[in-house]
Amino acid sequence: MLNTLQNRITQHQLLTNIRIKLLHLHKLLLDTERIRYEQVRGRVSKGELLQLAINHDQFAWLHRLSELIVQIDELIHSDEPITSEAIAALIADVQILLTPDEVGNDFAVKYDMALQRNPDVVLAHADVVTLLATKVQL
């Protein structure tokens, strides 16, 4: 019983840590995209930025990361026990998504450009990759 409880606590902590690091990365990517948008169209308010993030094509590539964060939230708040397979699949999805590529899919290309543009994005990326590399035995 104690082992099962400890396992669930460890899983929850891992998911929470991944979520926090992905949220930080998402904010930096959103800020980077906002700066690019404002260079062409002028300053935007926080409310306008929210609408742009939801509806504008320039920000659409970030939706995949948003969806991954939502998946983590759903796992964390699920009433059902989290399986090791679900966590392994989530970690694999994060690793695949956060693989920059100059000629890959839209997210990979724009993510690669953001990494080249903003050193804070590089640091946040390294934080996520480091956490995922230290895969906690579940």
- Residue 82 DSSP code: P
The alpha carbon of residue 135 and the mean position of all alpha carbons in its chain are separated, in whole angstroms, by 17
pLDDT, tens only, 85-112: 999 999 999 999 999 998 889 999 999 9
The pair of three-digit structure tokens given for residue 41, joined into one six-digit string: 């169209």
CA distance 92 to 86: 10
Q: Is 9 left (phi over 0), alpha (psi -120 to 50) or beta?
A: alpha
pLDDT, tens only, 111-123: 999 999 999 999 9
Instruction: Give the model's pLDDT for residue 27.
Output: 98
Q: How many residues does the chain have?
A: 138
Reported as a pLDDT band with limits 50, 70 and 90, residue 80 is confident
Instruction: Give the model's pLDDT for residue 100.
Output: 92
CA distance 43 to 51: 14
The pair of three-digit structure tokens given for residue 102, joined into one six-digit string: 């100059």
The pair of three-digit structure tokens given for residue 127, joined into one six-digit string: 């934080």
* Block residue for tokens 């995949």: 64
Question: Which of 29-38, 75-84, 91-100, 105-114 comes out lowest in average pLDDT?
Answer: 75-84
Instruction: Give the model's pLDDT for residue 137.
Output: 44
Closest CA to 52 of 62, 99, 89, 91: 62
What's the whole-model pTM score? Answer: 0.91
Reported as a pLDDT band with limits 50, 70 and 90, residue 2 is low
The domain limits of the chain are 2-133
